[in-house]
A and B are shown apart, each in its own frame.
Chain A
Amino acid sequence: HFGHRSGMLSLSRTHVSYEVKDDVAVVRMNDPNSKVNTISIQMQNEMTEVMNELWANDAVKSAVLISSKPGCFIAGADINMIQACSSAEEVTKLSQEGQKMFELVEKSPKPIVAAINGSCLGGGLEFAIACQYRIATKSKKTVLGTPEVMLGLLPGAGGTQRLPKMVGLPNAFDMMLTGRNIRADKAKKMGLVHHLVDPLGPGLKSPEQRTMDYLEEVAIQFAKGIVDKKIPLQKDKGMMQKIQDYVMSFEFVRNQIYKTVHGKVMKQSKGLYPAPLKIIECVKTGVEQGPTAGYLAESQNFGQLAMTAESSALIGLYHGQVACKKNRFGSPAKEVKTLAILGAGLMGAGIAQVTVDKGVRTILKDTTVQGLARGEEQVYKGLNDKTKKKSITSFERDSILSNLCGQLDYKGFEKVDMVIEAVFEDIKIKHAVLKEVEAVVSPHCIFASNTSALPIKDIAAASKRPDKVIGMHYFSPVDKMQLLEIITTDQTSKDTTASAVAVGLKQGKVIIVVGDGPGFYTTRCLAPVLVEAVRVLQEGADPKKLDSLTTSFGFPVGAATLVDEVGIDVAVHVAEDLGKAFGSRFGGGNVDVLKTMVELGFKGRKSGKGWYVYEPGRKIKEVNPEIGEILENYRMKANPAVSSDSDVQYRLISRFVNEAVLCLQEGILNGPLEGDIGAVFGLGFPPCLGGPFRFLDSFGADKLVAKMQQFEAVYGNQFSPCQLLLDHAKDSSKKFHK
């Protein structure tokens, strides 16, 4: 059999192989060195070689492109390949090579069917859409998307040119600008794939293996069908599609779309991210000026973007995120099978939600029926929303909820492996529940405190088993915020830490493990920013102005809105506790402003009023009219030397960054990477800056120190740079990230 022999000849190939079944070449991708396939130089070279062989082989009439890896078609281009380049031209050349290869695929005289099971992202998607036909498994693991924008890049191998033609301008923009993953059924509706194959259950092989084999069998059938002209490559367009195409044929309609999309991007990114704008530009060039100009724009812009600070910041975060999804403490001696949460408030219920849906039995305990009912309803609603969005079935929702056990007493706690308390932030209450818990749980049970500021060692002081006490600081809303800050004391055992990290990872969290101290890492960085924000307000800026200054610097949420979200009362607690612990360095605005607000019942969003007024159903929030008077009573005079918009921004950011560096200096932080991840994923530090440490590396520690010293002259030691920051300012070769 000729085909088999040609397959055998390629023994030297390690990433791509093929065999000929009847007259269909089945091309299999399998990177031997990784769990996922990426488009690397090696993969690209071997693929080109194989394709050339297929095109030259008369026994082959069509091809099926498939991955041998369960759960992954191609996860994207190899980031290292891009990062290894030192100039925009080099990256542009990479892009052009990719474009050329996919152009050959697109023009293949023999139809190529991409058989997709698992992630088909970035360069993988660009490869797939260059093929003549796409079949995907309807598995939850099968996702298609162009996540390049999240790395500050654009789809650089023809994506910006092919996608608009395939799915239409609006969908193409949505995909490329959000980078979101698209499930297989949605992809089919959008026209991104032609046909779906259902995943199979157990048979004579494992479900995963059999599903892959089945996908291949079906793809081979389709490849033959295409050759025999039994299966059309173009689907008949529906009425809606025809109307849309007609509308899109008008230049002014398209221009309106470019304008709207551009406006949206500017509004959301504040112009701080170059990639989305470049994506719009590439698409526009391709559509309006034709493919030659389009492909050129794509490769050149790709090259330019790869050299931007924003891209390296985002890629840094990506690597950091991957690193923070690993358990560096090893696997715990005992897996947590039953988790108990004390307090069914917003946090407690949120933690319950992300636990039950991982199949862990969860006890949610509260002290009142009302509190418990509210908490259980929150969990139900969180899951039901997923049902409405069809990401889980109603049956899955019910079955997940069966893992939740709401109760008012400590019944069954003897079987609990870990307790996470999310009760009120008061050391006396924390001590009380700790003692109650220790009286009923078995000795191996871990006690974790979800506190945002109380030192864990103070909580552990009441414990019989301080080695089992740890901090697990979740962020609100728990089901949306990715970060989990785990706090260990000197007494916390390594196994306890390993177990807490394992639970957090199971809950889908990105985890930083930090040392103990008032405010740990995240709260400690946030507190000075908040007091500075209060000072800015006292100096006459209104909350909207403050918010616009912070968001235009890249924070996703403005400082005033953030305080409302956190809760004014919580902010008072944090400011006072940390103020006591750290003294005048945490001074700035007058905490009494916040206290007065709390007295008047303005506790932030949860109470309906804070800096803003919150009314259900209203999208545009107005400034709380009653805070004007409060601020007037605490009015401070702004010093014009340090009060320009930019000054205010740097006053806020420098206090954040200085505190972060101090945490590293004091050993609270394990390293700058976790510092960056914690700041971005927990506190919304501008992702385009990559976190406080990466920001210092790119902005220059010396420049920031110079600004701080200018502020210090006016406000005092709140702005004194810490030693480590001064060291970096003195020696510009010192970098936090290599």
Chain B
Amino acid sequence: RDGLNSKKTLARPGVKNIVLVEGVRTPFLLSGTTYANLMPHDLARAALQGLLNKTSLPKDAVDYIIYGIVIQEVKTSNVAREAALGAGFSDKIPAHTVTMACISSNQAMTSAVGLIAAGQCDAVVAGGAEFMSDVPIRHSRKMRKTMLALNRAKTLGQKLSLIGSIRMSHLSPELPAVAEFSTAETMGHSADRLAAAFGVSRLEQDEFALRSHTLAKKAQDDGLLEDVITFKVPGRDIVSKDNGIRPSSMEQMAKLKPAFVKPHGTVTAANSSFLTDGASAVLIMSEEKALAMGYKPKAYLRDFVYVSQDPKDQLLLGPTYSTPKVLERAGLSMSDIDVFEFHEAFAGQIMANLKAMDSDWFGQTYMGRKAKVGTPPMDKFNLWGGSLSLGHPFGATGCRLVTTVAHRLKKEGGQYGLVAACAAGGQGHAMVIEAYPQ
């Protein structure tokens, strides 16, 4: 195999080789379906248990656990710790939770890489979870204030007067929104504007969404999604498949009305990723440790970057900025990459990024480049579906992308893979992954 591959390894002297040993995920389900009665840490727990099962990892063999999540359940704000305890990991293993919107589990993985590279740890579990079937809905600020004051009230008179001050308006709840705090714009709205800015048509978006669903269906049918574990949902059935993959027809998709910018927008429910419940987990080790423990690593985790830009007008352009940056770090060019896995938040967002990467003007004006970034060839791009079709549990998607790259490299016989993703806050991420010699 090695002989077939003329590309050289990205290993560098003095830099520790860090490997992905295994990656798993629960089936990604439309929120409000089979997982509806769980809690976020239940999903994370299932992923961790799945990882333990698949790797036969001793329960005290890792040094640290990191989880990513976006919408936090206040009762389990350090969801990593609760899930680890519940999954049966030794209670001597510290765990922390990170959040970075849709690249939260990317952050969990790169934090793990950092710990290993710094020599602090040899084996770390990283993962991500998201649970949209239940989100914290709060009392209004006024009501919260009254209730807190009520806690402190000493006399009955004080209490009664506080209760008496409650008005109808106190009772209206505060709902979480998938909106930027800084701009108050929902992400779908921003995606619609982004698509419009790059002149992405509704047709292009529907076509891309259809491609995603079609490829995902095929991958599912062909049994390629081997990272998906089987999960016996407490009180419900066993689930073993993603349930959001629904290849439709262009005609069907064309019937949908715009979901955010009405009536002239182009982003619809069918060409956006849907609200998803799910969790993922990966086992990351130094190469030495993995080999010493008798594992056959799946891939090397190489260079990675984080980028950020204007959260209003460039909210979802992360891949455009992160891709050339990580390639440069790794000393690779676009054509060196065999496998691309980009997070598909919206079809319009992917198309906009592709157009931005294909534009000299954009590269020169906004990225300080001499010429355009260049686009990934579509025959290497998200070939097993993507967030649009498989689903997008915000905190869990990053691990899915990395694991998929590893699996695809193996399946397709490539040497290098590239993960790129956008995230709320105008942030982005990219990572280069190298196949582990077979």
Q: Give the B-binding residues of A (Cβ under 8 A).
A: 197-198, 200-207, 210, 214, 218, 221-222, 393, 395
Q: Which residues of the partner chain B approach A218 to less than 8 Å between Cβ atoms?
A: 264
> How many Å from the CB of B106 to the closest CB on chain A?
24
Q: Which 7 A-B pairs have the closest CB atoms?
A: A201-B313, A203-B197, A395-B182, A200-B197, A203-B198, A218-B264, A201-B197
B199 and A203 contact, CB distance less than 8 A: yes
Q: How far is the CA of A88 from the CA of B276 in the complex (A)?
A: 71
**A interface footprint on B222-241 (CB within 8 Å = 1, 0 otherwise):** 00000000000000000000
In whole Å, how far is A223's beta carbon from the nearest beta carbon of chain B? Answer: 12
B381 within 8 A of A: no
Q: Which residue of A lies closest to B315 (CB)?
A: A201
CA distance A221 to B265 in the complex (A): 11
Min Cβ gap B360→A in Å is 10
Asked if residues A200 and B193 are in contact (CB atoms below 8 Å), the reply is yes
Cβ–Cβ < 8 Å partners of A198 in chain B: 189, 193, 261
- B168 an interface residue at 8 Å Cβ cutoff? no
B361 engages A201 (CB within 8 Å):
no
Q: How distant is the Cα of A203 from the Cα of B196 in the complex, in angstroms?
A: 8
Within 8 Å by CB of B193, from A201, A205, A393, lies A201
Q: For B313, give its contact among A197, A200, A393 (CB under 8 Å).
A: A200
Which residues in A have their C-beta under 8 angstroms from that of B365?
Answer: 202, 206
Residues B312 and A201 in contact, CB atoms below 8 Å apart: yes
Please report the C-alpha to C-alpha distance between residue A221 and residue B201 in the assembled complex, in whole angstroms.
Answer: 13
> Does A204 lie within 8 Å of B199, measured CB to CB?
yes
Pair A203/B352 contact, Cβ less than 8 Å:
yes
A201 touches B194 (CB 8 A): yes
A395 near B183: Cβ-Cβ < 8 Å: yes
Is B111 part of the binding interface, using a Cβ–Cβ cutoff of 8 Å? Answer: no
CB of B185, distance to nearest CB on chain A (Å): 9
Please, how many angstroms separate the alpha-carbon atoms of A384 and B314 in the complex? 26
Bound form: Cα–Cα A218–B362 in Å: 24
A-B contacts, 10 of them at CB < 8 A, read: A200-B197, A201-B314, A202-B313, A202-B314, A203-B355, A204-B198, A207-B313, A210-B196, A214-B196, A221-B264
B residues less than 8 Å from A221 (CB atoms)? 264
Find chain A residues with CB under 8 A from B196 CB. 200, 203, 210, 214
Given A207-B313, A210-B197, A214-B196: A202 and B362 interface contact (C-beta under 8 Å): yes
Q: Is B184 close to A, CB under 8 A? A: yes
Residue pair B362, A204 in contact (C-beta under 8 Å) = yes
Q: In the complex, what residues of A have CB within 8 A of residue B194's CB?
A: 201, 203
A210 to B199, CA, bound (A): 9
**B: interface residue count bin:** 20 to 34
B355 surroundings in chain A (CB, below 8 A)? 203-204
- Residue in A202, A218, A221, A393 with the greatest tally of chain B CB atoms within 10 Å: A202
Residue of B184, B199, B310 touching A393 (CB-CB under 8 A): B184
Q: How far is the CA of A206 from the CA of B361 in the complex (A)?
A: 10
A238 to B280, CA, bound (A): 49
- Whether B146 sits at the interface, judged by CB under 8 Å, is no
Give the docked Cα–Cα distance between A207 and B352 (Å): 14
Cross-chain contact A197 with B182 (CB below 8 angstroms):
no
**B220 sits at the interface (CB 8 A):** no
Residues of B within 8 A of A207 (CB): 197, 313
Complexed CA–CA distance, A203 and B355 (Å):
8
CA distance A203 to B316 in the complex (A): 12
Listed residue (B189, B197, B352) with the most chain A CB atoms within 10 angstroms of its CB = B197
Q: Which residues of A contact B181 (CB under 8 A)?
A: 395
Chain B nearest CB, measured from A687 CB (Å): 39
Interface flag for B359 (CB, 8 Å): yes
Instruction: Kindly provide the distance from the CB of A221 to the nearest chain B CB, expressed in whole angstroms.
Output: 6
Give me 5 other A-B pairs in contact (C-beta within 8 A), A198-B261, A393-B183, A395-B181 excluded.
A202-B197, A202-B313, A203-B362, A204-B197, A204-B362
Please report the C-alpha to C-alpha distance between residue A204 and residue B356 in the assembled complex, in whole angstroms: 7
- Interface residue ranges of B224-267 to A (CB < 8 Å): 261, 264
Give min CB distance, A21 to chain B, whole Å.
Answer: 15
Q: Which residue of the partner chain A has the closest CB to B352?
A: A203
Distance A142 CA – B1 CA, assembled complex (angstroms): 63
Of the candidates A197, A201, A214, A218, the one having the most CB atoms from chain B within 10 angstroms of its own CB is A201
Residues of B within 8 A of A210 (CB): 196-197
A242 CB, nearest partner CB in chain B, Å? 24
Q: In the complex, which residues of chain A have a beta carbon less than 8 angstroms from the beta carbon of B313? A: 200-202, 207
The residues of A that contact B366 with a CB separation of less than 8 Å are 202
**For the complex, what is the distance from the CA of A204 to the CA of B193, rounded to whole Å?**
13
Q: Could you say which residues of chain B place their CB within 8 Å of the CB of A204?
A: 197-199, 355, 359, 361-362
A206 to B, closest residue via Cβ: B365
Nearest to A218 among chain B residues (CB) is B264
CB within 8 Å of A: which of B118-165? Answer: none
| Cβ proximity bits B358-370 to A, threshold 8 Å, 1 near / 0 not | 0101100110000
Contacts of B189 in A (CB 8 A): 198
Q: A200–B310 Cα gap in the complex (Å)?
A: 13
Q: Report A15 CB to chain B, min CB distance, Å.
A: 29
Alpha-carbon separation in the docked complex, A206 to B199 (Å) = 13
Contact with A along B322-340 (1 / 0, CB 8 A): 0000000000000000000
Chain A nearest CB, measured from B315 CB (Å): 9
B372 to chain A, nearest CB (A): 11
> Which A residue's beta carbon lies closest to that of B311?
A395
> How many angstroms from the CA of A210 to the CA of B194 in the assembled complex?
11
Closest CB in chain A relative to B172 CB, distance in Å:
19
CA distance A222 to B263 in the complex (A): 10
Set of chain B residues within 8 Å of A206, measured between Cβ atoms: 365
Chain B residue with minimal CB distance to A204? Answer: B359
- A201 to B317, alpha carbons, bound, how many Å? 11
Contacts known (A202-B365, A204-B359, A395-B182); A197 close to B310, Cβ less than 8 A: no
Min CB–CB distance B212 → chain A (angstroms):
23
Please name all residues of chain A whose beta carbon is closer than 8 Å to the beta carbon of B184 when the two chains form the complex: 393
| Bound CA span A204–B261, Å | 21
Q: Given the complex of chains A and B, what is the CA–CA distance between A204 and B365 in angstroms?
A: 10
Closest to B312 in A: A201
CB distance from A313 to the nearest CB of B (A): 43
What is the distance, in angstroms, from A74's C-beta to the closest C-beta of chain B?
Answer: 24
* A206 shortest CB reach to chain B, Å: 8
Docked pose: A541 CA to B321 CA in angstroms: 73
**Which A-chain residue is minimally distant from B360 (CB atoms)?**
A204
Q: How far is the CB of A452 from chain B (nearest CB, A)?
A: 40
Expressed in whole angstroms, the Cα–Cα distance for A255 and B72 within the complex equals 59
CB-CB nearest in chain A for B198: A203
Q: Which residue of B lies closest to A396 (CB)?
A: B182
Residues of B187-203 whose CB lies within 8 A of A: 189, 193-194, 196-199
A residues less than 8 Å from B361 (CB atoms): 204-205
Closest residue of chain A to B194, judged by CB? A201
Q: Is there contact, CB below 8 Å, between B310 and A201?
A: yes
Q: Which residues of A contact B312 (CB under 8 A)?
A: 201
Task: Using A202-B197, A202-B362, A203-B198 as known contacts, say yes or no to A197 and B183 having CB atoms under 8 A apart.
Answer: no
CA distance A203 to B352 in the complex (A): 8
* Bound Cα distance A480, B356 (Å): 43
| Residue of B193, B261, B361 with highest tally of chain A CB at under 10 A | B193
Distance (whole angstroms) from the CB of A425 to the closest CB of chain B: 42
- Chain B residue nearest to A225 in the complex (CB): B263
| C-alpha spacing A609/B352, complex, angstroms | 63
Bound complex: CA A673 to CA B51 (Å): 81
Q: Which residues of chain B come closer than 8 Å to A200, judged between CB atoms?
A: 193, 196-197, 313
Complex Cα gap A206–B198 (Å): 11
Q: How far is the CA of A206 from the CA of B364 in the complex (A)?
A: 12
Residue of B nearest to A222 (CB): B264
Query: Closest residue to B192 on the A side, CB-wise?
Result: A198
When C-beta atoms are compared, the residue in chain A nearest to B359 turns out to be: A204
How far is A197 from B196 in the complex, measured between Cα atoms in Å? 11
> In whole angstroms, what is the CA distance A16 to B370 when docked?
38
Give the residue name and chain of the B residue nearest to A221 (CB): B264
A219–chain B nearest beta-carbon distance, Å: 10
> Which residues on B sit within 8 Å (CB–CB) of A395?
181-183
CA distance A214 to B189 in the complex (A): 15
Task: Tell me the smallest distance from the CB of B85 to a CB of chain A, in Å.
Answer: 38
- Which among A198, A200, A203, A207 has the greatest number of chain B C-beta atoms within 10 A? A203
